[in-house]
């Protein structure tokens, strides 16, 4: 019997309810379930599927096997006015990052700027989700986190940095935020997995063999290249900046000391750090001046001449367009994620997020 290759779709509301219910059934407290679901749906809405609802099964596993504390008692501490630290008590990284950014926004409201270093955390998902939380409050938001080693140095021949993402969101009047959310590797690892599954060669200069040599064969990839191609020292430098802010500043593990996300040990906390920053724009320029400047910048950028057959987009434009389509037409669920959803629905006795489907 031939299977339909068209991905099944689910509404955002249905996915929200299903993911939250699964996390609660797995033992997470309400705050953790809410934060994790919110972060995953940010990824799935904006087309960042590698950090969307496909992570649900992994998060259930680490919550139930002991790597992540399902009911953490997170503690904020501060020694200076606009600066604080958050001990995540080995809780989920999404809850830690949202809490840290919420506090950073409060600090910025009082001092003009707020910075929070996060310690004893875990994988936090899409970095842009936490930067957006600041922009939604009218602030500029920055979020960074290191991760286990998978990216070589420029001219290096071993895994050194993680993909070490940088995300920044800036409010724009009468528009969605300007949103930069990028890894400091040339490509994300999920691109390698995709090309492997469809039998397609990788672009030049984005991945390497075990000896650090460039390869186009996704089957031969042992590490990713840093962003920048022949000028990969720029990507390595940016990854190092993330490393310093997220790990060194918080006293947490460097990328090459962090246990791999996929295991095999899923019971020991990974001891990860992260860093968030919020800036109140009208602490530096009056609100009208800032808003006019952002509006003119973004409008001029979008209306800039493009080369033949191309178009010019502001950071985030592609993702916001994807969000509009998915909010109207549903979020596609790949076959592997659908299979996992079915297992989780049976395990916890929950209805699937697809219309008309119940637990079997």
> What SS3 state is found at 306?
coil
3-state SS, one letter per residue, for 343-356: HHHHHHCCCCCCCC
Mean pLDDT, range 174-183, rounded to an integer: 96
In the chain, where the domains are located: 1-65+330-360, 73-183+231-304, 186-225
The span from the CA of 175 to the CA of 51, in Å, is 24
Task: Specify the pTM.
Answer: 0.94
Query: By C-alpha distance, which of 58, 29, 27 is closest to 262?
Result: 58
Query: By C-alpha distance, which of 185, 313, 307, 207 is closest to 255?
Result: 185
Helices (H), 204-307: 233-243, 287-302
Instruction: Give tens-digit pLDDT for 186-230.
Output: 988 878 877 886 788 999 999 999 888 999 999 999 999 999 988
Mean pLDDT, range 58-70, rounded to an integer: 97
The topology under which CATH files domain 186-225 is Wheat Germ Agglutinin (Isolectin 2); domain 1 (3.30.60)
Q: How confident is the model at residue 41 (pLDDT cuts 50, 70, 90)?
A: very high
Query: By C-alpha distance, which of 241, 260, 42, 35 is closest to 144?
Result: 241
> What SS3 state is found at 42?
helix
Q: Which two tokens stand for residue 292?
A: 């006019």
Instruction: Give tens-digit pLDDT for 259-289.
Output: 999 999 999 999 999 999 999 999 999 999 9
The span from the CA of 343 to the CA of 360, in Å, is 9
- Residue 124 in this model has a pLDDT that exceeds 60: yes
Q: What CATH code would you report for 1-65+330-360?
A: 1.10.1530.10
Q: Which two tokens stand for residue 222?
A: 């042992």
Helices (H), the chain: 12-25, 30-45, 56-65, 93-111, 127-136, 189-198, 233-243, 287-302, 317-329, 335-348
Domain 73-183+231-304 belongs in CATH node 3.40.50.300: no
Instruction: Determine phi and psi for 9, rounding to 5 degrees.
Output: -120, 155
The span from the CA of 291 to the CA of 300, in Å, is 14
Q: Which two tokens stand for residue 149?
A: 């080693």
Q: Which two tokens stand for residue 103?
A: 């506090």
> What SS3 state is found at 204?
coil
The span from the CA of 233 to the CA of 155, in Å, is 8
């Amino acid at each position: 019997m031939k299977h339909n290759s068209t991905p099944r779709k689910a509404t955002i509301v249905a996915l929200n309810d299903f993911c939250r219910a699964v996390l609660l059934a797995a033992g997470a407290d309400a705050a953790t379930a809410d934060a994790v679901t919110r972060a995953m749906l940010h990824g799935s809405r904006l087309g960042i599927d590698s950090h969307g609802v496909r992570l649900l099964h992994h998060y259930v596993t680490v919550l139930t096997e002991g790597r992540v504390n399902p009911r953490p008692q997170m503690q904020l501490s501060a020694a200076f006015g606009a600066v604080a630290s958050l001990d995540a008590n080995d809780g989920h990284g999404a809850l830690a990052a949202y809490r840290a950014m919420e506090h950073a926004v409060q600090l910025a409201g009082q001092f003009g700027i707020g910075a929070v270093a996060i310690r004893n955390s875990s994988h936090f998902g899409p970095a842009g989700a936490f930067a957006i939380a600041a922009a939604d409050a009218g602030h500029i938001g920055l979020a960074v986190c290191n991760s286990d080693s998978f990216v070589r140095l420029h001219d290096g021949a071993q895994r050194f940095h993680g993909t070490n993402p940088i995300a920044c969101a800036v409010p724009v009047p009468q528009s969605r935020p300007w949103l930069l959310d990028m890894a400091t590797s040339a490509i994300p690892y999920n691109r390698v997995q995709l090309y492997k599954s469809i039998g397609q060669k990788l672009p030049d200069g984005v991945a390497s063999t075990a000896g650090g040599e460039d390869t186009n064969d996704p089957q031969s990839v042992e590490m990713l290249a840093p962003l920048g191609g022949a000028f990969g020292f720029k990507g390595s430098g940016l990854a190092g900046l993330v490393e310093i802010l997220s790990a060194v500043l918080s006293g947490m593990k460097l990328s090459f000391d962090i246990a791999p996300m996929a295991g095999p040990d899923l019971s020991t906390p990974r001891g990860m750090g992260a860093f968030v920053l919020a800036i109140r724009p009208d602490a530096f320029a009056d609100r009208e001046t800032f808003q006019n400047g952002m509006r003119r910048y973004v409008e001029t950028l979008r209306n800039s001449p493009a080369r033949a057959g191309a178009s010019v987009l502001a950071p985030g434009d592609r993702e916001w367009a994807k969000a509009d389509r998915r909010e109207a037409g549903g979020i596609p669920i790949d076959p592997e994620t659908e299979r996992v959803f079915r297992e989780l629905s049976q395990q916890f006795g929950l209805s699937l997020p697809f219309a008309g489907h119940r637990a079997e």
